[in-house]
Structure 1
């Protein structure tokens, strides 16, 4: 690919993101604005829509969202469950879980989906869950969420279940992330290790996509 093609790819990403923002509901737009202003910056709108589409494509009925104030993505997952199933949101931060609990309280009267919000590290809470009980796991936020969740993924997911890792290129902190060898931040180091771990695991088939700030999607064989 030449420089023009790379430039066009960047423009295509920008167009796709703006298109997704325009299609967000007023509720999601207001949620994004409020959480961004509170310091809990939200991920890509196109990425959040893709996560919702994955719920629908896979027919997932039992979903875990592990994050750090990842409210917009969590709400997209809740809406995609379409009045059925269970969504468990796991956030180890006080501010993040408060945002999720407030949003779930407002949603509770509008949906038959069971909404569960848990304030605990993934490494502490996930081992307590029943095995082979979940269709989809989405991981975002702090670096420590990723390895801890993947360590439980094979046990938690049903056969042919899917785990999705967001911000795998570690671009959200603005230091260049995985694509910059000089970036030795905790997130960049963790994502480099995660890529190797997931891709080498014979129990999963995986692919890395450029959606959002990098999605790693792994399918349990």
Structure 2
């Protein structure tokens, strides 16, 4: 791949981000601004919009969102549920879980919203093994890399057949100067080798690994 191709790909990425930002509704825009003002950087708008789209097209009714202050992604998942179903947010950061709970409280006050929302301040290692097997359509994993492998360990048990687990920020595969590449490559290998899943790696946003339970 030559320099011109890389430049063109970067322009496409930039256009996709700007387009997705333009699609964000007022609630998401405010949540993004508030989170970043509170010191919680938010991820790619195109990535969050794709998560919303996947939720809708999957007709998901039960979601687990594992993250560290992933406010925008969580809101887009809620939007994808279309006012019904359930979403459980698992966040080990105190600031992140407080913001998510405040947002969920606002949704609960709406008479038109029949979505069951809960926010749990703990790690996936502690919480996910407690959940019922075979009852979830979608698990989305973001934030610190220590969230990733424990979530995948539980995924085959928690997901319905045809359910998906999505790992964001897989661009960590390319980071040269920290432990992210090793963690991400190990995860990628483990997902590839697991007979329960088919997977695809996409550069959308900050990189997404999408795996479907057979």
Under a length normalisation based on structure 1, what TM-score does the superposition of the two structures give? 0.93
The equivalent residue for 2:164 is: 162
Give 2:131's match in structure 1, choosing from 129, 132, 152.
129
Partner SS state of residue 107, structure 2: helix
The separation in 1 between residues aligned to 2:138 and 2:120, in whole angstroms, is 17
Partner SS state of residue 117, structure 2: strand
The equivalent residue for 2:184 is: 191
The separation in 1 between residues aligned to 2:30 and 2:121, in whole angstroms, is 24
| CA apart distance, 1:57 | 1.1
**RMSD (Å), alpha carbons:** 1.0
The separation in 2 between residues aligned to 1:162 and 1:220, in whole angstroms, is 6
| CA apart distance, 1:48 | 0.4
The equivalent residue for 1:116 is: 118
Q: How does 1:64-213 map to 2 (within 5 A)?
A: 64-110=64-110, 111-170=113-172, 178-180=173-175, 182-185=176-179, 187-213=180-206
Partner SS state of residue 169, structure 1: helix
The separation in 1 between residues aligned to 2:166 and 2:59, in whole angstroms, is 15
Give 2:212's match in structure 1, choosing from 208, 213, 219.
219
Consecutive unaligned residues in structure 1, runs of 5 or more: 171-177
| CA apart distance, 1:109 | 2.0
Under a length normalisation based on structure 2, what TM-score does the superposition of the two structures give? 0.96
The separation in 2 between residues aligned to 1:12 and 1:115, in whole angstroms, is 35
The separation in 1 between residues aligned to 2:64 and 2:161, in whole angstroms, is 16
Runs of 4+ aligned residues of structure 1 deviating over 3 Å after TM superposition are none
The separation in 2 between residues aligned to 1:114 and 1:203, in whole angstroms, is 29
The separation in 1 between residues aligned to 2:121 and 2:33, in whole angstroms, is 23
**Number of paired residues?**
212
| CA apart distance, 1:2 | 2.2
The separation in 1 between residues aligned to 2:12 and 2:164, in whole angstroms, is 27
The separation in 2 between residues aligned to 1:19 and 1:37, in whole angstroms, is 23
